[in-house]
Amino acid sequence: MKLTSGVEQATCIIVLLATQDSRSPLASDHISARLDVSPSYLKKIMRKLVVKGLVISVPGNNGGFSLAKSPEQITGLEIIEAMEGEISIFSDNGLLTKAFEDGIHASQGVEVLNNIFKGANDVLKDYFSKFTVADLLKKSMSLSELPSLDWNNTSLKDFLKKEMKENADD
């Protein structure tokens, strides 16, 4: 229940690239020196960001990395998923079905639990997709611009309701 330290590093990299307003790409060694982290490991992280499409790499002399999008278009969720893959906090080994083997409570409990964690995933995705790198760069942020405070959004609520509705039909 902890996201890897690579996420922190990746975030810093993106921020650093965003604050460098020069259009020339930044070499990975330059970045690692700036952040005072291992050059080798940083390259590994850079690669993940490239694969995810957040930054672009320029090979050859005077090469380096640049942002692939504007800071407004890079969400926290993208950074996290670039490093860790899709968010899926619950490791389901189907163990719960055995706990319910007595049959009294059928598989309803399993469904409920799965929905709960599925919901947790969506909560996190929703949350992190709301803030962008640009939010971090604003010098003074007004309250209305605060990331992810739209608690009245109903997408998740509807999703769960639908799920449960189907179960209720049994």
Partner DNA sequence: GATGGCCTACTCGGATAATGCATGTCCGAGTATCAGCGG
Partner DNA sequence: CCGCTGATACTCGGACATGCATTATCCGAGTAGGCCATC
Q: Is 153 in the site for a second copy (CB under 8 A)?
A: yes
In order of 34, 119, 150, 153, the CA distances from 126 in angstroms are 32, 10, 10, 10
CB of residue 67 vs a second copy: minimum separation in angstroms?
A: 14
Q: Confirm if 48 and 83 have CB atoms less than 8 A apart.
A: yes
CB of residue 139 vs DNA: minimum separation in angstroms?
A: 29
* Helices 5-19 and 39-52, packing angle to 10 deg: 80
Q: Is 159 in the site for a second copy (CB under 8 A)?
A: no
> Toward DNA, which CB reaches closer, 44 or 138?
44
Which x/- pattern, by CB under 7 A, does the window 72-111 give for DNA? ------------x---------------------------
Q: Is 36 in the site for a second copy (CB under 8 A)?
A: yes
> How far, in whole angstroms, is CA 72 from its chain's centroid?
15
Count of C-beta atoms within a 10 Å radius of residue 148: 14
**Given 43, 69, 125, 130, the residue binding DNA (CB under 7 A):** 43
